[in-house]
């Protein structure tokens, strides 16, 4: 229980630190949402001043932060100036879409990286290992933005996949199976871009961890006893190499989440990415802060899940 309480306290302090820094940085940025209204001749300066006073833009940062914490306690996450509504409903709808994309890409990435990394480590120094290492090195050198643009151009040229959105026009009339097929077709390109961006790092870490364990004495002893090679790899070697890989799992969620924001903008996926970009351009303060906080919550949740898996897999953590 102390282990979980310690991890939970770290997560709470991290969220508080991110929220404070978000408020400080947005306060230091020049301009705000109501500055553009001054350029509109149909809006009087008195109206702009009244709006600034109503929403508390002129108040000190500490006061605005305290009011935002109170809105978080009520589940509002602040107030969106551009949409004239609490930020939470806008953010949660987009957050579920981002979460769907990120979790799917995370699952596929690990399902590919684990067997591929183990297969490469088993053949270390030979032609298959060199081919895998070269391919992952090539993918590692390509930016996520370039990958997304390349896949988008492929979709436009071939017409094999939709080029944006989450559902096709008129998908409301489709059956449940038709809606799922339409959703999967729209997810194919952004998920592929995220998987190709995350796969090189995961494969290299799995290969490195497994290659270090495969030279251990207890595995050679197990092989000498006639235990099948597949059993040695997946029942003995993989659990022994699991500690750094589980830690990497939490990091991979954060990396895929940050990459998904770029991919969503390029491929018009209705997630947090386009909403954050729109809020930043409009200087919609609380919508930006709410989006940053939700992204941080997802990252903290991923690391907390990794901590739970470490607690389950490593008896040294439980005994300490």
The pLDDT tens digits of the residues spanning 247-257 come to 777 777 777 77
The pLDDT tens digits of the residues spanning 276-304 come to 888 888 788 888 888 888 888 888 887 77
pLDDT in the model for residue 316: 64
Q: pLDDT higher for 313 or 156?
A: 156
The pLDDT tens digits of the residues spanning 77-110 come to 778 877 888 888 888 888 888 888 888 888 898 8
Domain range summary for the chain, segments of one domain joined by +: 2-87, 89-319
- Inter-residue contact 88 to 76 (CB < 8 Å): yes
Q: Average per-residue pLDDT in the chain?
A: 79
Model confidence at 117, in pLDDT bands (50, 70, 90)?
confident
Other CB atoms within 10 A of residue 112 CB: 15
pLDDT over threshold 80, residue 14: yes
pLDDT in the model for residue 127: 84
The pLDDT tens digits of the residues spanning 168-211 come to 766 666 776 777 787 788 888 888 888 888 888 888 888 887 77
**Residue 191 burial class via C-beta count within 10 angstroms: exposed 0-12, middle 13-18, buried 19 and up:** buried
- Please give the CATH topology (third level) of the domain spanning 89-319: MetI-like fold (1.10.3720)
Query: Quick one: what percent of the chain has pLDDT higher than 70?
Result: 89
């Amino acid at each position: 229980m102390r282990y979980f309480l310690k991890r939970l306290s770290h997560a709470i302090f991290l969220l508080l630190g991110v929220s404070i820094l978000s408020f400080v940085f947005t306060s230091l940025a020049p301009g705000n949402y109501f500055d553009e209204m001054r350029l509109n001749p149909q809006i009087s300066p008195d109206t702009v001043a009244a709006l600034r006073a109503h929403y508390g833009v002129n108040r000190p940062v500490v006061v605005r932060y305290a009011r935002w914490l109170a809105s978080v306690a009520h589940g509002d996450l602040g107030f969106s100036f551009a949409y004239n509504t609490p930020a939470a409903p806008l953010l949660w709808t987009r957050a579920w879409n981002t979460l769907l994309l990120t979790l799917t890409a995370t699952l596929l990435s690990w399902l590919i990286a684990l067997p591929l990394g183990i297969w490469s480590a088993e053949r270390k120094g030979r032609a298959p290992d060199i081919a895998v290492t070269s391919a992952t090195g090539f993918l590692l050198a390509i930016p996520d933005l370039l990958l997304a643009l390349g896949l988008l151009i492929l979709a436009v040229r071939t017409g094999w996949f939709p080029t944006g959105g989450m559902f096709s026009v008129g998908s409301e009339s489709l059956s449940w199976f038709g809606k799922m097929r339409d959703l999967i077709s729209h997810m194919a390109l952004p998920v592929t871009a995220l998987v190709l961006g995350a796969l090189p790092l995961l494969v290299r870490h799995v290969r490195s961890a497994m290659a270090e364990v495969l030279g251990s004495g207890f595995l050679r002893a197990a092989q000498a006893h006639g235990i099948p090679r597949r059993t040695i790899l997946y029942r003995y070697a993989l659990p022994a190499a699991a500690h750094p890989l589980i830690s990497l799992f939490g990091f991979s969620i954060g990396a895929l989440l940050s990459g998904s924001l770029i991919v969503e903008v390029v491929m018009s996926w209705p997630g947090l990415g386009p909403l954050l970009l729109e809020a930043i351009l409009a200087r919609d303060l609380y919508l930006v802060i709410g989006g940053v906080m939700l992204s941080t919550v997802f990252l903290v949740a991923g690391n907390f899940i990794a901590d739970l898996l470490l607690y389950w897999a490593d008896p040294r953590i439980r005994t300490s």
